[in-house]
A and B are shown apart, each in its own frame.
Chain A
């Protein structure tokens, strides 16, 4: 790509992103506009996929809400995302955790948690 176009695309990216991976439990703080007012809404769940590169990068967060699975896809670099908090890190063996969709009950949100290092 043209270096000037590249630079413009780069300028749209966020530099303060927390490093989060597929399998992590996250809390996504999104800006919601209601008429004139703006407020923050939190969507908490497990990141089940991260797709795309650069400005096109998106991630999918899945949670169980009142017994119903809910997934939301966020653009990683969207200015509407106030911040992303990583609650829980985990060890997963898949790049895309779509198998969680077929699970019901307690198993639906079960992911192997990452052992924190021995020094802690």
Chain B
């Protein structure tokens, strides 16, 4: 069974859960995702399905992709993504996956997205370095400090934390609980925050390290 959907982050709010506790939630519009292609172990060497998301105008896509979608009988969609499966798929091209079928309330999921870009960031922001004193004659505020020892080893270690570009990377947040599912609007309310800005695309999948 496919346990992955593509979605769009709509923003955050708070809701009261079953125990009357106010929990922070991220609202994600997930699916509907039509199946475009089914890959099988015999033919492709592994089992997977390709799913689509976000309907778009045909003139926004190129001919090869339009033909690929038309072969499965799927309307033009902007995003295609492959989902690996452990066992042969129980769906066929043209089938549509929706939140109500794929997920259930209380389930634990992983959310994958592109984190917000922070630009060129220093070590205090990027690696949570402590930084120096702000005043009392201190001239060492947010600088990087020492990056190594002396003649031995005579070089900086690999992975030495230094300033550089931060964010805008693919990130996975694991084990977030689904607080609520609204199938008629293709919405899921996921406890906590997920990577990316409002409006960004995310991948929601059943948690791979969920505690049983």
Q: Which residue numbers of A lie inside 8 Å of B, CB to CB? A: 1-2, 4-5, 8-9, 12, 31, 55-56, 75, 77-80
Q: How far apart sit A16 and B20, CA to CA, in the bound complex (Å)?
A: 18
Q: Name A55's contact: one of B10, B11, B20, B22 (CB within 8 Å).
A: B22
Q: Name A5's contact: one of B13, B16, B20, B22 (CB within 8 Å).
A: B13
Interface size in chain B (residues, C-beta < 8 A)? 15
Q: Is B51 an interface residue (CB 8 A)?
A: no
Q: Do A8 and B27 have beta carbons less than 8 Å apart?
A: yes
Chain A contacts for B198, CB-based, 8 A? 2
Residue pairs across A and B with Cβ atoms less than 8 A apart, 6 shown, are: A1-B13, A8-B189, A9-B14, A78-B22, A79-B16, A80-B20
Chain B contacts for A8, CB-based, 8 A? 13, 15, 27, 187, 189
Q: How far apart sit A80 and B20, CA to CA, in the bound complex (Å)?
A: 7
Q: Do A56 and B20 have beta carbons less than 8 Å apart?
A: no
Q: Is B207 an interface residue (CB 8 A)?
A: no
Q: Is B29 an interface residue (CB 8 A)?
A: yes
Q: How far apart sit A78 and B14, CA to CA, in the bound complex (Å)?
A: 12
B61 to chain A, nearest CB (A): 26
A55 to chain B, nearest CB (A): 5
B:24-79 near A, CB below 8 Å:
27, 29
Q: How far apart sit A24 and B187, CA to CA, in the bound complex (Å)?
A: 40
Chain B contacts for A75, CB-based, 8 A? 22
Q: Is B185 an interface residue (CB 8 A)?
A: yes
Residue of A nearest to B189 (CB): A8
Q: How far apart sit A5 and B12, CA to CA, in the bound complex (Å)?
A: 7
Chain A contacts for B189, CB-based, 8 A? 8
Q: How far apart sit A31 and B21, CA to CA, in the bound complex (Å)?
A: 13
Chain A contacts for B14, CB-based, 8 A? 9, 12, 55-56
Residue of A nearest to B14 (CB): A55
Query: Quick one: which of B13, B185, B187 has the most chain A CB within 10 A?
Result: B13
Q: How far apart sit A49 and B198, CA to CA, in the bound complex (Å)?
A: 33
Q: How far apart sit A60 and B16, CA to CA, in the bound complex (Å)?
A: 20
Q: Do A78 and B16 have beta carbons less than 8 Å apart?
A: yes
Chain B contacts for A1, CB-based, 8 A? 11, 13
Query: Quick one: which of B10, B12, B187 has the most chain A CB within 10 A?
Result: B10
Q: Do A2 and B27 have beta carbons less than 8 Å apart?
A: yes
Q: Would you give the 0/1 interface string for B94-110, flagging 1 where the beta carbon is closer than 8 Å to chain A?
A: 00000000000000000
Q: How far apart sit A55 and B24, CA to CA, in the bound complex (Å)?
A: 11
Q: Do B10 and A79 have beta carbons less than 8 Å apart?
A: no
Chain A contacts for B22, CB-based, 8 A? 55, 75, 78
B78 to chain A, nearest CB (A): 19
Q: Do B11 and A12 have beta carbons less than 8 Å apart?
A: no
Q: How far apart sit A79 and B17, CA to CA, in the bound complex (Å)?
A: 10
Q: How far apart sit A79 and B15, CA to CA, in the bound complex (Å)?
A: 11
Closest 5 A-B residue pairs measured CB to CB? A5-B11, A9-B13, A79-B20, A2-B11, A2-B10
